Amino acid sequence: MSYSLAEAILLLALSSSVAALIADIIYKLYFHPLAKYPGPPLARVSCLHATYHAWRGDLHLDMWRCHERYGDVVRYKPNSLLFNTAGSLRDIYGHSSNGKVLKSRMYAVAVHRAPSTVTMRGGKDHARRRRILGQGLSDQSLRRYEGRILRHIDQFCDIMYDKETIGEGQTVEKEPRDSWSPPLDMSKWTNYLTFDLMSDIVFDAKYNLLGAERFRYVVDCIDRSNLRMGVLIYLPELTMLRLDRYIFRDSIKARNRFVKFVTRVVAERLQKTSSADSLGNSDLFAHLADAKDPETRESFTTNELAAESTTLIVAGGDTTSTAISAVLFYLSRHPDAYRKVVKEVRSTFGSYDKVKMGAQLVSCRYLHACIDEALRMSPPAPACLWREVVAPAGLVVDGVHVPHGVDVGMSIYAIQHSERQYTNPFSYHPERWLEDDGAGSIEKARAAFNPFSIGARNCLGAGLARAETMLTLARLLWLGDFQVAAQKDLAPVGAGNPGAASGRHRDHEYQLFEHITAQKQGPWLQFRAREDLR
């Protein structure tokens, strides 16, 4: 059998490619520094396992399953180790890891124009930016935004209890206040609330997603754009030959539409700053524009300011919306917890207007516990925040030596559902944060609790997110009651399906879909004003 020169060259190229692939697989399975660690077979030789689950939105569930099957240390990608102990949490993300790890290179694909503190690898410039950003998000600064926060929460509460909702293809006439409202999808309405909140706080912009449909497309664009980005983080090779543009056409259209929107927002805000009637320090943008790093005396550049502000809108809105929706889901399905938190809120505040930041709100310990328990069970960023070991000598993670150049991380969902740290981890039980069992249960629970991460890269907006969540829930609970939608087709939305697989079967758990941040559906709830306020 004879071959032409072209056929021979093609055959040689194919044979060489197959041989190289086989050699690569053999190396990763038997000779790679991480070869001794267990993990899914495909994950040990390729990023395709992680990419598939990133596309499905169940990375957090798969990571939990992997720990159940393979143990506390899992090889989740060829050059990555996934841990699941409280000690690992401190060693990877705590302050002791400063200078030893940087944010993984895999997040570079998420950078648009200028990186933000969320996407930056680390180092001195990252620390400088955090010092500037922290000035605008300090506890003292939050007081400056309280009026804005409460105005949007009031509008949200009016919609929930007055039944005057316009949008989603329907207009609902105002009904008597002693009747239950029509069913309302909390995933949508909390998205509208938090986007309105953050755009007002950051840009002094009034887009009124709560009251009108015009700009509601923006939150949908964020969700659809994140689907592609979540996949590219694990398989950036898709951008080669522009394959992602064929696979994620809808996602790219959504991203382009969002970029166009936010570019206009930033440009308009910059124009306000330079105008004669400057806004001063009325919003976060102005505060950050004037702020200087106390160490270097440097300020944000225009591109840095735009990157940080945009990130606050996207990340800040998504996480707070998920937190509020999760608490509403669990309280609507746990009547004992619901009665306790209602009693606490209504006995603490003598009137609706008194529900504000301060000592009284801080004293609502059961409300705090309800929020913490929802954040434990359904964390807004449930999968893994990967770090690259850059210390030449490597990094010791809870007794395990990890070589230089390896990515390490933990699934927030997995560690917060560890039976070592939590009794009945899949049960919603706010009391676990208040009542110690005598064996240090609260201390163990706190040691693994990290919905906003810890250490030098913890979420700077965590205080703002908690304040928004506390105020929204306290005002809702003070005004009236809510229940799961009476309609049979709407009641289960947001919950797992007992017949589903892969962790989606838990009907008592608020289901999240992980695409960089968490996406969700429901719960559908109905509201009714307090009897003494009708």
Interval 488-503 mean pLDDT: 92
Per-residue pLDDT at 7 exceeds 70: no
What is the SS3 assignment for 33?
coil
Please report how many Cα atoms fall inside a 13 Å half-sphere around the Cα of residue 386, on the Cβ side. Answer: 21
Interval 140-151 mean pLDDT: 90
Buried residues in 22-41 as b, exposed as e (16+ CB within 10 A): eeeeeebeeebebeebebbe
Confidence tier at 483 by pLDDT (50, 70, 90) = very high
Q: Which residue has the tokens 């509403």?
A: 328
Instruction: Give this prediction's pTM.
Output: 0.93
Distance in angstroms (rounded) separating the CA atoms of residues 306 and 211: 27
Q: Which residues are annotated as a binding site?
A: 459
**pLDDT value, residue 166:** 43
Distance in angstroms (rounded) separating the CA atoms of residues 22 and 10: 18
The tens digit of pLDDT for each residue in 67-117 reads: 999 999 999 999 999 999 999 999 999 999 999 999 999 998 888 777 888
Distance in angstroms (rounded) separating the CA atoms of residues 399 and 383: 23
Distance in angstroms (rounded) separating the CA atoms of residues 211 and 145: 21
Residues in the chain: 534
Distance in angstroms (rounded) separating the CA atoms of residues 165 and 182: 9
Nearest to 99 by CA among 121, 123, 128, 126: 123
**pLDDT value, residue 179:** 86
Per-residue pLDDT at 357 exceeds 90: yes
Distance in angstroms (rounded) separating the CA atoms of residues 379 and 146: 25
The tens digit of pLDDT for each residue in 270-283 reads: 888 654 344 445 78
Task: Give the domains, in start order, of the chain with CATH numbers.
Answer: 37-533 (1.10.630.10)
**pLDDT value, residue 58:** 97
Q: Give me the DSSP letters along 305-363.
A: HHHHHHHIIIIIHHHHHHHHHHHHHHHHH-HHHHHHHHHHHHHH-SSGGG-SSSHHHHT
Q: Which residues are annotated as a binding site for heme?
A: 459
